[in-house]
Amino acid sequence: MLSIEPSGAILGATVRGIDLARPMAEAAFGRILLALGQHGVLRFPNQQLDIGDVKRFSERFGEIQGNPIQSVDATQPYPEVGILSNVKQNGAYIGSPDAGQDWHTDMSYRDTIGFVNVLYGIRIPRRDGKPLGGTEFANTGAAYDALPADIKTRLDGMTATHDFEKFWEHMRQHKASGRPAMTDEQRRRRPPVVHPVCLTHPITGRKMLYCNEGYAVRINELTQRESDRMLEFLFRHQLEMRFRYKHDWNENDLLIWDHLGTIHRAIADYGPEEIRLMRRCQVMATKVFDPAFLRPALQAACA
């Protein structure tokens, strides 16, 4: 029987009593969707999933992005399902070698923003029995609620420019990721985009601060100097410890988190010989803002 156990922290819940390798009823999906809006991060422990299972679960929430800067190889089975790994074969990494090690929101750099990330742990690094390579989150709804009233009023209706190259260059220059500089073709595929600084969450109706340090470069309605000051304040504010939650991984954990209500980072506390291997789907918000998708699922959850 499906159960949802809140973590008791600012984010997070554990979902039990469901096998994600099997077809999911609409009522169960609706409960998961509602819990995702309420808790931001959901853990499904002890899941035995193949790559097709991860894809099928992920695409219930929207279209899967695939590689953010390269064309998807349609000749490969399940090309939308990515790999995060520090495993090497024949001197080359399997999948993406470096998880995002600083705070960001995946896909805020796209016209169609991200809705969820789905990550399935296959191998988890451990040292002295302790899991490494955790994922830390911050609650952007709680961060918005705690803003001073005058800041909320000022930000109302403002927009921010998000640029994929900002995060790419940060990882390249400051995190020793080994990435080359972006090519002109890659920049063409990922030009800067504009989104509201504050969003209303489609599931809960709650206001969210949608302005992450990884990709946001400018608040467009302010002068450059005012924008720099405001962004510095917002970036610092949303990372206060009262808004944070950390997930420690186990093998066969499936984790899904809401990009509208959270920002996140990977904790790089493991070495190259301590293996971390995960499957990932980055799911865009192609469904969640559509009442024709959202209303039946939430009604089924409450039936």
83: domain CATH number?
A: 3.60.130.10
- Nearest CA among 160, 166, 164, 162 for reference residue 219: 160
User: Is the per-residue pLDDT at 216 higher than 50?
Assistant: yes
State the pTM of this model.
Answer: 0.92
Tens digit of each residue's pLDDT (9 = 90 or more) over 175-209 = 666 677 778 888 788 899 999 999 999 999 999 99
Over residues 5-27, mean pLDDT? 97
**Are 37 and 254 spatial neighbours (Cβ–Cβ below 8 Å)?**
no
Residue given tokens 């994922």 in the structure block: 135
Answer whether 36's CB lies under 8 Å from 258's CB. yes
pLDDT tens column, 41-83: 999 999 999 999 999 999 999 999 876 545 555 556 788 899 8
* Structural domains in the chain (count): 1
State the residue range of the domain holding 84.
3-302
* Token reading at 135: 């994922």
DSSP H helix total and E strand total for the chain: 8, 19
Q: Which amino acid is at 259?
A: H
Q: State which H helix or E strand residue 237 sits in.
A: helix 224-237
